[in-house]
């Protein structure tokens, strides 16, 4: 049986649990394109990002400061001798979302297979997600001028007013 993290699990155990999942995600999303492979693998950077997020660091700068302060422990847990420089961390940060997304999918499928969750039950919070189609606003809707392809269920929200038209997803009952 695969070990699961519980509240209060120490960081070292979480890192040991995350390494094989992130390695599998990296195998499923191989790097393509020209150039040589990076010296620090993508799965290792993904684990570092996960550690920083779990420790509640929100900005990339605060995440990197935390990781640099705990460099020796992290290097021992990752079984590597290289730690990314600040610019390396910042440059490759935006590429790791693919690996995190795949790692979450891997763990979700594993949880369904083991019977820990029911795949038929869907619960969604009030997250704001981007609407499909062109941007449009309330005045256009009131005048009956809705652009072709616009999402008719989409509305504007104050949190993302500058980003365009958004759909608010509420909990399903």
Domain map of the chain by residue range? Answer: 11-114, 122-173
Q: Where are the beta strands (DSSP E) in 81-154?
A: 128-130
Inform me whether the pLDDT recorded for 146 exceeds 50: yes
Look at residue 89 in the predicted model and tell me its pLDDT: 92
Q: Which of 28-32, 58-62, 145-149, 157-161 is predicted most confidently?
A: 58-62
| Structure-token pair, residue 33 | 């394109």
DSSP letter at 130?
E
Mean pLDDT estimate for the chain = 79
| Structure-token pair, residue 55 | 């420790």
In order of 59, 113, 144, the CA distances from 67 in angstroms are 12, 34, 53
3-class DSSP state of 155: strand
Of 77, 60, 65, the C-alpha closest to 10 is: 77
The mean per-residue pLDDT over the stretch 158-166 comes to 47
Structure pTM?
0.64
């Amino acid at each position: 049986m695969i070990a699961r993290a519980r509240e209060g699990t120490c960081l070292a155990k979480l890192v040991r649990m995350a390494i094989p999942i992130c390695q599998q995600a990296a195998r499923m999303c191989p790097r393509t394109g020209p150039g040589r492979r990076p010296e620090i693998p993508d799965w290792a950077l993904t684990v570092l990002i996960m550690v920083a997020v779990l420790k509640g660091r929100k900005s990339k700068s605060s995440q990197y400061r935390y990781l640099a302060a705990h460099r020796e422990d992290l290097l021992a847990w990752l079984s590597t001798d290289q730690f990314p420089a600040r610019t390396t961390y910042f440059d490759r940060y935006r590429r790791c979302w693919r690996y995190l997304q795949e790692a979450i999918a891997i763990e979700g499928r594993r949880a369904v297979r083991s019977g820990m969750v029911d795949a038929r039950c869907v619960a969604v919070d009030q997250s704001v997600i981007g609407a499909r189609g062109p941007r449009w606003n309330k005045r256009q809707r009131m005048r009956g001028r809705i652009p072709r392809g616009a999402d008719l269920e989409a509305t504007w929200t104050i949190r993302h007013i500058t980003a365009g038209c958004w759909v608010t997803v509420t909990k399903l009952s």
